[in-house]
Structure 1
Amino acid sequence: MPRIAILVETSLASGRQILAGISHFLKQRNDISVFHHSGQLGQMHPDSLIDWQGDGIIARVVDASVAKLLIETGLPTVDVLGNVPDCGFPLVKTNNDTIGSIVAEHFIQNGFHHFGLIGLGKENWSLEREAAFFKSANEISTTPHSLHLKSTDSEIVHISHSLAAIRDWLPKLPKPIGVLVTSDQFAPLLFQAAHELELRIPEDISIVGVDNDAPYCDLCRPALSSVDPNHEEVGYQAARLLEGLLTGAVTHPQNITVRPHMIHLRRSSSFLAVNDPQLSKAMEFIRIKACKGISVDEIAQHCGLSRSVLQRRFRSQINRSVGDCILNEKLTRAKELIYAGNLSMNHIAELSGLNSQEYMSQVFRKHLHQSPKEFKARLPHTFSTHSAQIE
């Protein structure tokens, strides 16, 4: 029976989700022995394997020293972090470029012209999300506003340091601003600093995190919007890859990136950054009524504007037509319903206002470059091999 060790922390949702993906793969095999103990990322160290005799390892390789120790074991190892890109291990990781881009797109669609980020300055995954975020945001603003915390800032002894840094940073930002937090674990500190400074969320600072870590998202007031990076698929693909290395089925492993799912939109990023009360009223009306069926004329009447004036204001202030905004609301609702599961595609099309499965499929293919069924296949617990992309 093959014996594998898993060096993945359990203190954060990302690690637990990777473990869930590995577990799902192992349930399909039932012939692999696993060594793992819970703990924080820094505690998941190769030294814990001193008395262990095994065949392969799945690990979040945090730095070069850990990579060196893993190399010295001589065992096939799959990295699920990507902090040491030149270590030579096969790598399975989230698509951080896509994560950064979709958050920037969300803020742009909400009319923001200023963009900020809180991340970790020495973590590749965070820096990749940052680069993609500001690259996409550069279409609107060329001035990035970033704050790099230390990797240890999530530890209790350093919380006061990072809170002070955030408190000093926030007053310097233009308002309103959309801020990406590259890991949900730092979001409560941002919320605390904003509340202390009497800054409004989301009116002054609109916030989106990454990991969709429910405890962190729900602890924030208002609740935190967050991207689901699809870490479970990372774990599943890593276990699949390691099995291939152990059996000889994989002889030339390549890096694999896993597409994220979606932004789970909550109140922290619900604000539309427009200085036009009638336009804000129109967007709120669209959010409430789009899936039930509304026309541009109904929206214009609700806001006390002519149809032509309404269209011009949408184009000039948020660079989208009224129809685009209505369709985006329907598409977002359809994705949420698919994510919730258990509904037929016809029912989802009806509830989201897309009316038919055929039209919904057209909308998905045009805007997401995949069918609704393909979108569903890439959601958690499906572990579709198609959601992994070889580099």
Structure 2
Amino acid sequence: MSEKLEEHSIPCVLADNEAIAQIALEHFQERGYAHLGYSGGRHRDRDQRGVCFQRAAEAVGLSVHCYDRTIWESPGEDRTAVSRAGRARWLESLPHPIGILCWSDLAARTLAEACASSDLRMPEDVAILGVDNDVLICEMTRPSLSSIELSTERIGFESARLLDSLMGGEWSPHAAPDKPIPRILPAGVVARASTDHFAVSDPDIVRAVRYIREYSVDGIGVEAVAEHAGLSRRSLERHFKRHLGCTPLQVISRVRLERICRLLSDSDVPLARIAEAGGFQSVRHLHRFFRQQTGSTPTSYRRLHRFE
């Protein structure tokens, strides 16, 4: 949904750009990217998604290189070719390796084509993350595109609810100008080949993170990760802080949460089975972990993200 609707006080339901930005940042951080970029839509001044991504990156001491078409594109008849050439020049000017968030999957595909037209490799030099999880675009691009999946069914449901309330006269945007616009949380990242790379040269970190991604649902702790990586716990934590800017426990929690959220939003699996599959001793332990990480409960999250 476009922020242009919000600018004109038109009732609308929007994706939560702050949450999208945070998810993208964590996805790149987990893979060790110290350089970040953003490729937005046509109206750069209205691109709140990019603004949120810059703000999230700055909060952890990182900066974002943003694509500016007025600098990199030359006038031409074929807008697609001009856009691709401009992005190729921009990509070549950036520090590498770099992780780039795109406004949408369509923008991500254009950037992937620009990358292919240069000597840059994806994902080794440029890791690309889209938004929307348009399966056709993501799977037909080579290499396939990772993407943040929006809760589109929930957005549609809330939009219908909003329209119904307007038609029923329950409230008016003119009578209640301060009524908050619903912001719908994204479902999470669907990881594919375009971000399947670690931007760190430390093989111990790569080994540790791959182990976490494979076995986090077994309830592993930091000691098990350190043992697998062949490091002491203290040394492992130093390596993570230096290369990823976070602790091993934070990565473990992030991966576990990601998988729990996917089960809650995409299935009807009972909480007891999710707790068991996630390595928790009981549903109570699952509740405590989920509330610590999100400020919500698993039941509330499922109710918000499942379309019924």
Match of 2:186 among 244, 247, 261: 261
CA contact (8 A) 1:121 1:148 kept: no
Match of 1:166 among 87, 99, 106: 87
CA-to-aligned-CA distance 1:27-59 (integer Å, 9 cap, x gap): xxxxxxxxxxxxxxxxxxxxxxxxxxxxxxxxx
Q: Distance in 2 between matches of 1:353 and 1:149?
A: 48
Q: Does 1:222 align with 2:143?
A: yes
Match of 2:252 among 307, 326, 329: 326
Q: For the structure 1 residues 91 and 299, does the alpha-carbon distance in structure 2 shift closer, same or farther, using more than 3 Å as the test?
A: closer
CA contact (8 A) 2:130 2:148 kept: yes
Give the C-alpha shift of residue 149 in structure 1: 5.2
Among all aligned residue pairs of Structure 1 and Structure 2, give the percentage whose two residues are the same amino acid: 30
Match of 2:214 among 274, 284, 288: 288
Tell me the residue number matched to 2:125.
Answer: 204
Q: For the structure 1 residues 221 and 86, does the alpha-carbon distance in structure 2 shift closer, same or farther, using more than 3 Å as the test?
A: closer
Tell me the residue number matched to 2:101.
Answer: 180
Q: What runs of 5+ residues in structure 2 fail to find an aligned partner?
A: 71-76
Q: Does 1:116 align with 2:37?
A: yes
CA contact (8 A) 1:179 1:206 kept: yes
CA-to-aligned-CA distance 1:149-184 (integer Å, 9 cap, x gap): 59xxxxx95221211111111111111111001111
Q: Which amino acid aligns with 1:294?
A: I
CA-to-aligned-CA distance 1:308-365 (integer Å, 9 cap, x gap): 2222212232232222222222222212222330311111122122342111111111
Q: Which amino acid aligns with 2:189?
A: H
Match of 1:131 among 45, 51, 69: 51
Q: Does 1:104 align with 2:30?
A: no
Q: Distance in 1 between matches of 2:159 and 2:265?
A: 23
Q: Which amino acid aligns with 1:279?
A: I
Tell me the residue number matched to 1:336.
Answer: 262
Q: Which amino acid aligns with 1:257?
A: P
CA-to-aligned-CA distance 1:66-106 (integer Å, 9 cap, x gap): xxxxxxxxxxxxxx533154434323322223322321233
SS of structure 2 residue aligned to 1:83: helix
Give the C-alpha shift of residue 116 in structure 1: 0.3
Q: Distance in 2 between matches of 1:336 and 1:236?
A: 19
CA contact (8 A) 2:188 2:258 kept: no
CA contact (8 A) 1:227 1:263 kept: yes
Tell me the residue number matched to 1:276.
Answer: 202
Q: Distance in 2 between matches of 1:377 and 1:173?
A: 42
Q: Does 1:346 align with 2:272?
A: yes
Q: For the structure 1 residues 133 and 84, does the alpha-carbon distance in structure 2 shift closer, same or farther, using more than 3 Å as the test?
A: same
Q: Which amino acid aligns with 1:352?
A: G
Q: Distance in 2 between matches of 1:88 and 1:379?
A: 26
Q: Distance in 2 between matches of 1:340 and 1:231?
A: 13
Q: For the structure 1 residues 203 and 242, does the alpha-carbon distance in structure 2 shift closer, same or farther, using more than 3 Å as the test?
A: same
Match of 2:164 among 229, 237, 243: 243
Number of residues of Structure 1 aligned to a counterpart in Structure 2: 297
SS of structure 1 residue aligned to 2:305: coil
Larger Cα-atom Rg? 1
Give the C-alpha shift of residue 141 in structure 1: 4.7
Q: Distance in 2 between matches of 1:163 and 1:87?
A: 32
Give the C-alpha shift of residue 121 in structure 1: 4.2
CA contact (8 A) 1:228 1:260 kept: no
Q: Which amino acid aligns with 1:133?
A: F
Q: For the structure 1 residues 355 and 199, does the alpha-carbon distance in structure 2 shift closer, same or farther, using more than 3 Å as the test?
A: farther
Q: Distance in 2 between matches of 1:204 and 1:121?
A: 25
Q: For the structure 1 residues 222 and 340, does the alpha-carbon distance in structure 2 shift closer, same or farther, using more than 3 Å as the test?
A: farther
Alignment of 1:51-130 (within 5 A): 81-122=2-43, 127-130=47-50
Q: Which amino acid aligns with 2:67?
A: L
Q: Distance in 1 between matches of 2:159 and 2:266?
A: 26
Give the C-alpha shift of residue 206 in structure 1: 1.9
Q: Distance in 2 between matches of 1:325 and 1:144?
A: 22
Give the C-alpha shift of residue 366 in structure 1: 0.8
TM-score (norm 1): 0.69
Q: Which amino acid aligns with 2:200?
A: V
Q: Distance in 2 between matches of 1:288 and 1:186?
A: 31
Q: For the structure 1 residues 165 and 98, does the alpha-carbon distance in structure 2 shift closer, same or farther, using more than 3 Å as the test?
A: same
TM-score (norm 2): 0.86
SS of structure 1 residue aligned to 2:95: coil
Give the C-alpha shift of residue 205 in structure 1: 1.7
